[in-house]
Amino acid sequence: MKHHILRSFSLVFVSVLFSSADNCSAENWPGWRGPNRNGVTTDTGVPTTWSASENVLWKMPLPGIGTSNPVVWGDKVLVTASEGRDQGELHVIAFDRDTGRERWHQRLWGTAPTLFYGRSGMASPSPVTDGKRLFAFFGTGDVFCFDLDGGLLWQRAIAEEYGPFENRFAAASSPLLFEDKLIVQCDHYGASYVIALDQQTGANRWKSDRPEVWLSWSSPQLVPSGDRVELVLSGSEKLDGYDPRTGSRLWTVRGLARECVPTPVIGHGMLFVVSGPNGTHFAIKPGGSGDITDSHVVWKNDKGTSFVPSAILAGERYYLADDKGIGSCMDARTGKLIWKKRFGDKFTASPVSADGKLFFTNESGSTLVLDATQASYEEVARNDIGEEVYASPAISQGKFFLRTATNLVCIGKKERNAVQSAE
Amino acid sequence: MKCFVACLMLVGFAWLDAPYDPAPHLTAIAKSGPQGEGSATAKLARDELAKQGVDILPPLLVAMDTSNAVAANWYRTVYEEIVARELKRAETKWPIEFFKEYASDAKRVGKPRRLVLTLLDKLDPAFRDQWLPTRLEDAEFRYEAVGLALAAGDRALTSKDDAAAKAEFRKAFEAARDSNQVSQAAAKLRTLGESADAVRHLGLVVDWWVVGPFDAPQKTGFAKVFEPETRVDLQAKYRGQGGAEIAWKRHHETDALGQLDLNKQLGATREAVGYAYSEIDVPREQAAQVRCGADDNCSVWLNGQKVFGRDQWLNGTRFDRFITPIQLKAGRNTLLVKICQGPQHKDPEVPNNWSLQLRLCDADGRGIVFQSRLTEKTGSEK
């Protein structure tokens, strides 16, 4: 299966398949932006209409603040949060997927207080799971590993070991799993680095210093390139490719924004990278060595780049909603603009896609649903949950999970749920 | 053989009767640390500890009073599990007096004390309200205590009891270390006709000689040594950016929190270096801290010795951003600060700030008492 996916490298690229987990299913949402770290799932039966009352299966209050996306594995929905004057009180909570009942709740201390953003606190990075363990990284620079019953297995206070995170909004990068390693991008004004931790013990497998890098909030991505896999990090006016097995740097593309937030997405044999505002979209062929700016950039344009939201690739088209609410659709292979539209309100959350639909949720809590099978702009619905939303949604097993500013909301088709319950 | 079995049974019964000793498990957790070290042992130990009742909470809390952040979290998982379980049992005999003593012991680490206070909210709901206002000198709870004093002052003002209001605001001002609370209390006192010097309270240095801009293209300024670093001569003239002659000028900063704007004092520019120099008198030799922030970055020399420098760019001047321990000598001390200015952000709308904020305080954040030796009234102070 692993080799098949590598060979058939196209739109769908399941980063979790590179991990040692033996039971990965695309219908789970195991980490930042889902099974492929690109917001896209093969899940079906997802509702396209809802409101604060319609199609809401359950709603549970969350402690504190956070913008990490919910993680769904099997019958659990896992969420992180932080609270307190310095946001040093950390929470990891597991909810029952079907009922919303709290299954377990771990409360821990963050070890290295730093500045934070008022909406996200220390819970910007999304946790990630391989179905056996949950790995949670917080803006305080702490990494915790739990079994899926909530038992703490190991922890690392990496900000205490390598220096506190010096940036304005705390660390926000969501870690990823590769083989038996957990990889965490730690870019900040202090000593930046990317580190791979042993999933079993938490010990360093490798650490690669990034002395020329300053703060960014982007998350790493994995991309297959020929017979190798490359780890891609966006930040500090460039994109770097690394060997995820050793941490050695392979290549660099120059020209990104000074501070990067969006996570690169992959497809059509290319990496799609955006950073802004007033930045540039890049489509890049991975591979090569050294400075590949002049040799591997397939196309670029500077129309409608975003500061926070990541882009999404659906079939032949590349979509983005920028922070100010301007949506755009481009031809993924050429970068040519297909349409541009004012979506309304501001965006922090990144879009997700399932079942031929695109879901863009703005800060007011309104989710714009578009038909991704059409090249033209085809609006399916606008669904208002009635609460502010800054976190990216999750889709799993026919349900749409929205983390609002105060609640975790499970949206689903009630009749389908009734059938499932009866079974 | 019978004797041997009997001995075994005795040992066994004795073991069964012996009270649980948490010390070995607490010690095992204490050995956990960096690199995930000791995690497997810590997990086994925590699982055993979590089976126990509230009797182990006092030794557990004593163990939680540690600088080992990893061990503290292992202990916390035990604490949370026991507390959640025991709160469901009506007959649990909580060690409430121990909890109160523990919460009140300002020498202990703050986080577990705060945890205990949250539990006391459930066990003795009246405790917090009568206890918290007394914590003005307690670093962990000072912020809340000062907030309560400010609120009490506001209530007194509403009741037109100016004397009570002054007393509450004065109490808040003297105790406060947070710059916003200091400013707030000072403003309240001033509206009541009272004096309150926030700059002095926080130990902000506001009397400077400044010189610049020196030319420092492409972020070379941090490493490049200009004349003021080798010798401070306030009468000297230097060749500055663009070949212009530059000289020291006296400046007294009037910003409420002592933020020195070099764009105003030396002229808006980019890719440059400026220096600020001050001299202070302190009554005795003492350990202190220099707390500073700068845009883009700063380096600090105390009495000719470099005590701080961080090569960072475009990161803003923030209160207490960097904290460095220093030793002040009795009498005259000199301070030289180098402040670098980087290139303009490629977005022309991003302001190209060039500023410094620096204060001298004790480890608790209270400004140290000093007198500026810069008595000359020249330059911007004229």
Q: Do A278 and B39 touch (CB under 8 A)?
A: no
Residues A14, A129: Cα–Cα separation, whole Å: 13
* CATH architecture assignment, domain B204-381: Sandwich (2.60)
Disruptive mutation site among A85, A103, A104, A107 for chain B (greatest number of B CBs within 10 Å): A107
CA distances for A121 relative to A116, A405, B115, B319, B342, angstroms: 5, 12, 20, 19, 29
Q: Do B39 and A151 touch (CB under 8 A)?
A: no
Q: What's the confidence (pLDDT) of residue B359?
A: 98
- Give every CB contact of residue B243 below 8 A, 6+ residues apart in sequence: none
**In this complex, how many residue pairs, one in chain A and one in chain B, have their CB atoms less than 8 Å apart?**
73
pLDDT bracket for residue B24 (50, 70, 90): very high
Which residues lie across from B360 on neighbouring strands?
Answer: B290
For residue A310, the distance in angstroms to the closest alpha carbon of chain B comes to: 21
Choose among A152, A189, A277: nearest Cβ to B315.
Answer: A189
Residue B56 DSSP symbol: G
Q: Is A247 left (phi over 0), alpha (psi -120 to 50) or beta?
A: left
Map B322-347 to HEC letters: EEEEEEECCEEEEEEEEEEECCCCCC
Residues B39, A104: Cα–Cα separation, whole Å: 21
Among B122, B116, B43, residue whose Cα is nearest residue B80: B116
**Which pair of tokens denotes residue A238?**
């460039």
Residue B379 DSSP symbol: G
Q: What's the confidence (pLDDT) of residue B347?
A: 67
Q: Are A40 and A15 in contact (CB under 8 A)?
A: no
User: Does the pLDDT value for residue B7 go beyond 70?
Assistant: no
Give contacts of B218 with chain A, Cβ < 8 Å: none
The upper half-sphere exposure of residue B108, i.e. CA atoms within 13 Å in the direction of its Cβ, equals 20
182-241 in A: which are within 8 Å (CB) of B?
189, 197-198, 201-204, 214-215
Q: What's the confidence (pLDDT) of residue B4?
A: 52
User: Does the pLDDT value for residue B9 go beyond 60?
Assistant: no
Q: Do A153 and B39 touch (CB under 8 A)?
A: yes
User: Does the pLDDT value for residue B314 go beyond 80?
Assistant: no
The answer to whether B344 contacts chain A (CB < 8 Å) is no
Q: What's the confidence (pLDDT) of residue A87?
A: 94
Q: What's the confidence (pLDDT) of residue A90?
A: 98
pLDDT bracket for residue B190 (50, 70, 90): very high
Among A356, A288, A370, A284, residue whose Cα is nearest residue A321: A370
Residues B115, B84: Cα–Cα separation, whole Å: 13
Disruptive mutation site among B29, B35, B295 for chain A (greatest number of A CBs within 10 Å): B35
Choose among A88, A106, A115: nearest Cβ to B77.
Answer: A106
Average pLDDT over residues B228-251: 96
What's the mean per-residue pLDDT of chain B?
A: 92
Residue with tokens 């523990």: B102
- Which residue type is seen at B190? R
Q: At A362, is the secondary structure helix, strand, or coil?
A: coil
Give contacts of B111 with chain A, Cβ < 8 Å: 88, 109
Along the 423 residues of chain A, how does pLDDT read in single tens digits?
Answer: 334 433 333 333 434 444 444 333 448 999 999 999 999 999 999 999 999 999 999 999 999 999 999 999 999 999 999 999 999 999 999 999 999 999 999 999 999 778 888 888 999 999 999 999 999 999 999 999 999 999 999 999 999 999 988 877 888 999 999 999 999 999 998 899 999 999 999 999 999 999 989 889 999 999 999 999 999 999 989 999 999 999 999 999 999 988 899 999 999 999 999 998 888 999 999 999 999 999 999 999 988 899 999 999 999 999 999 999 999 999 999 999 999 999 989 999 999 999 999 999 999 999 999 999 999 999 999 999 999 999 999 999 999 999 999 999 999 987 644 434 333
Phi then psi for residue B243, to 5 deg, are: 85, 0
Disruptive mutation site among A82, A92, A109 for chain B (greatest number of B CBs within 10 Å): A109
Mean pLDDT lowest among A177-186, A397-406, B9-18, B327-336: B9-18
**Please, what are the domains in chain A?**
2-422 (2.130.10.10)
The answer to whether B249 contacts chain A (CB < 8 Å) is no
37-56 in B: which are within 8 Å (CB) of A?
37, 39-40, 43, 46
Q: What's the confidence (pLDDT) of residue A166?
A: 84
The answer to whether A364 contacts chain B (CB < 8 Å) is no
Alpha carbon A305 to its chain centroid, in Å, reads 18
Residues A21, A40: Cα–Cα separation, whole Å: 20
Q: At B317, is the secondary structure helix, strand, or coil?
A: coil
Phi then psi for residue A338, to 5 deg, are: -95, -45
Average pLDDT over residues B4-19: 54
Instruction: Name the pairing type of β-strands B237-239 and A238-242.
Output: unpaired
**Which pair of tokens denotes residue B337?**
């600060």
The answer to whether A263 contacts chain B (CB < 8 Å) is no
The answer to whether B316 contacts chain A (CB < 8 Å) is yes
The answer to whether B128 contacts chain A (CB < 8 Å) is no
Q: Is B116 left (phi over 0), alpha (psi -120 to 50) or beta?
A: alpha
Give contacts of B346 with chain A, Cβ < 8 Å: 258, 278
Q: Do A258 and B314 touch (CB under 8 A)?
A: yes
CA distances for A127 relative to A32, A39, A69, A177, B241, angstroms: 7, 15, 8, 11, 50
For residue A371, the distance in angstroms to the closest alpha carbon of chain B comes to: 35
Q: Do A152 and B313 touch (CB under 8 A)?
A: no
DSSP for A285-300, written as a single string: ----SEE-HHHHEEEE
Q: At A273, is the secondary structure helix, strand, or coil?
A: strand
Q: Are A197 and A177 in contact (CB under 8 A)?
A: no
42-101 in A: which are within 8 Å (CB) of B?
85, 88
- Give every CB contact of residue A330 below 8 A, 6+ residues apart in sequence: A281, A301, A317, A318, A319, A336, A337, A338
Choose among A107, A154, A258: nearest Cβ to B39.
Answer: A154
**Which pair of tokens denotes residue A310?**
């990541």
For residue B39, the distance in angstroms to the closest alpha carbon of chain A comes to: 5
Choose among A107, A151, A204: nearest Cβ to B80.
Answer: A107
- Give the residue extent of every domain in chain B: 21-134, 142-196, 204-381
Give contacts of B69 with chain A, Cβ < 8 Å: 109, 111, 157, 160
Q: Are A131 and A21 in contact (CB under 8 A)?
A: yes
Q: Do B69 and A106 touch (CB under 8 A)?
A: no
Q: Are A221 and A262 in contact (CB under 8 A)?
A: no
